[in-house]
């Protein structure tokens, strides 16, 4: 076992040009062997590599090697390939067969039976396919082991986005596509990239039989109403739902596997997202001194992260909770080291201190988020809620 592993590692550590040369030599030998094999099938006895056989062999080499180089056979890393092996080899051999048949079957060469033009490309296909599959399964053992632990996913959307993501996930260490879902009745029972397309209304048995762990929405161009209907349907099942970026990002080549993400609030809103007014933000943030109250809270911390992107002169963080203030301060320092960030432990209800801060730092823009927002908790602490949310805001204003 160790011997095999050492041999495999030695081969994998060879320079890329050397590996390409090995592949070319392999195909060179296959050209010669398959020509002799084709003559044997036709004549029922072995022939020597001379005369007409020699011509047929060298014509095979002269067509195959340049053609395979041009279509990228020797640039592809076959040990990481999936079903794309069959597709790549089929395209290459189809072009090769067309040329070889034209020379030896349609035109004909003296001493070479016409059937050789058909038999040899067939043998060539099996030879090339076998050599690539052998490289995949001998040299790709570690790769295959890593793929065994992948999560089974069902892709919702059998369109171009679904097809593209299935191809991209073929070599993923994290996901394994086990089927597609689509609302189009005409597609049910059909196959896309070797995976069956199912009716999303019959998910109970499908999830169990496929041992699916999550849904992936490949519907980048669907409208928000339809998207919410699908989310509501999938929400009945105890599977995670993840999604893709917008169709624009996919078209422009900005999509990668790492862009598969959890659903966020933007994905489930009943209205279209309202984008920020960039000019207004620029006037109030860029080169300004900005203060955020409640900076360590969920809303305040997100505002701080957005503010640093627009390059203020200084960002003042006002927060009553020491741990929350520490966390957001450390995070913001890593986001933009050029911006002056000032963390202040303070209660917004302290009107004198807030006034001194505004005057001392000459604050130009304030984002006020210092408030209790967990409704049931505030309802149980009405006095503190009113004191902080109402009078705290009043004193700051």
pLDDT number for residue 3: 46
Is the Cβ–Cβ distance between 132 and 157 less than 8 Å?
no
Q: Please tell me the distance from the alpha carbon of residue 147 to that of residue 79, in angstroms, as a whole number.
A: 13
pLDDT number for residue 250: 46
Is the Cβ–Cβ distance between 259 and 185 less than 8 Å?
no
Superfamily of domain 149-268 in CATH is: NAD(P)-binding Rossmann-like Domain (3.40.50.720)
92 contact partners, CB below 8 Å, separation of at least 6:
67, 68, 71, 73, 128
The CATH number of the domain covering residues in 278-396: 3.40.50.720
User: Rg of the chain's alpha carbons, rounded to an integer?
Assistant: 32
Is the Cβ–Cβ distance between 117 and 103 less than 8 Å?
yes
Q: Please list the pLDDT of the chain residue by residue as tens digits (397 residues).
A: 444 455 555 655 667 678 788 888 999 999 999 999 999 999 988 999 889 999 999 999 999 999 988 887 777 655 555 555 677 788 888 999 999 999 998 888 888 999 999 999 999 999 888 887 777 666 655 445 455 567 888 988 888 878 777 877 766 667 888 899 998 888 898 988 788 899 888 888 888 888 888 888 888 777 777 888 888 888 888 788 877 655 445 444 445 554 555 555 555 555 666 778 888 888 899 999 999 999 999 899 999 999 998 899 999 999 999 999 999 999 998 888 889 999 999 999 999 999 999 999 999 999 999 999 888 899 999 999 999 999 999 989 9
Per the listing, tokens 């092996």 go with: 85
Provide the 10 A C-beta neighbour count for residue 357: 18
The DSSP secondary structure of 94-155, one letter per residue, reads HHHHHHHHIIIIII-BTTB-TTHHHHHHHHHHHHHHHHHHHHHHHHTHHHHHHHTTPEEEEE
Q: Which two tokens stand for residue 165?
A: 């993501």
β pairing state of 191-192 and 195-198: antiparallel
Phi, psi of 83 (to 5 degrees): -65, -15
Would you tell me the crossing angle of helices 116-139 and 2-12 to the nearest 10 degrees?
110
pTM of the model: 0.42
Q: Range(s) for CATH 3.40.50.720 in the chain?
A: 149-268, 278-396
């Amino acid at each position: 076992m160790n011997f095999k592993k050492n041999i495999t590692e030695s081969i994998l550590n060879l320079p890329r040009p050397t590996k390409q040369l090995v592949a070319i030599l392999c195909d060179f030998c296959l050209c010669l062997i398959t020509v002799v094999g084709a003559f044997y099938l036709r004549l029922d006895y072995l022939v020597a590599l001379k005369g007409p056989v020699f011509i047929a062999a060298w014509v095979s080499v002269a067509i195959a090697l340049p053609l395979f180089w041009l279509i990228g056979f020797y640039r592809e890393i076959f040990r990481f390939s999936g079903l794309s092996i069959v597709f790549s080899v089929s395209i290459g051999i189809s072009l090769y067969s067309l040329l070889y048949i034209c020379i030896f079957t349609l035109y004909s060469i003296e001493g070479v039976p016409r059937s050789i033009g058909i038999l040899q490309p067939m043998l060539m296909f099996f030879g090339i396919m076998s050599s690539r599959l052998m490289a995949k399964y001998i040299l790709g053992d570690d790769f295959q082991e890593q793929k065994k632990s992948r999560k089974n996913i069902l892709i919702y959307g059998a369109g171009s986005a679904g097809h593209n993501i299935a191809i991209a996930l073929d070599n993923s260490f994290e996901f394994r596509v086990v089927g597609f879902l689509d609302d189009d009745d005409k597609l049910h029972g059909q196959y896309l990239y070797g995976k069956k397309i199912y009716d999303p209304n019959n998910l109970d048995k499908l999830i169990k039989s496929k041992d699916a762990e999550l849904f992936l929405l490949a519907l980048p161009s669907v409208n928000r109403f339809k998207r919410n209907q699908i989310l509501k349907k999938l929400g009945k099942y105890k599977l995670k739902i993840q999604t893709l970026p917008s169709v624009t990002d996919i078209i422009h080549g900005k999509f990668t596997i790492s862009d598969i993400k959890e659903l966020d609030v933007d994905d489930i809103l009943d209205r279209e997202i309202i984008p920020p007014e960039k000019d207004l933000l620029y006037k109030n943030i860029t080169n300004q001194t900005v203060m955020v109250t409640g900076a360590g809270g969920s809303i305040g911390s997100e505002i701080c992260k957005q503010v640093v992107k627009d390059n203020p002169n200084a960002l003042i963080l006002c927060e009553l909770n020491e741990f929350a203030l520490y966390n957001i301060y450390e995070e913001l320092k890593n986001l933009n080291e050029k911006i002056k960030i000032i963390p202040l432990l303070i209660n917004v209800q302290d009107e004198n201190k807030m006034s001194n801060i505004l005057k001392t730092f000459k604050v130009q823009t304030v984002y006020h988020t210092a408030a209790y927002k967990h409704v049931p908790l505030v309802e149980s602490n009405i006095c503190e809620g009113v004191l902080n949310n109402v009078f705290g805001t009043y004193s700051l204003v």
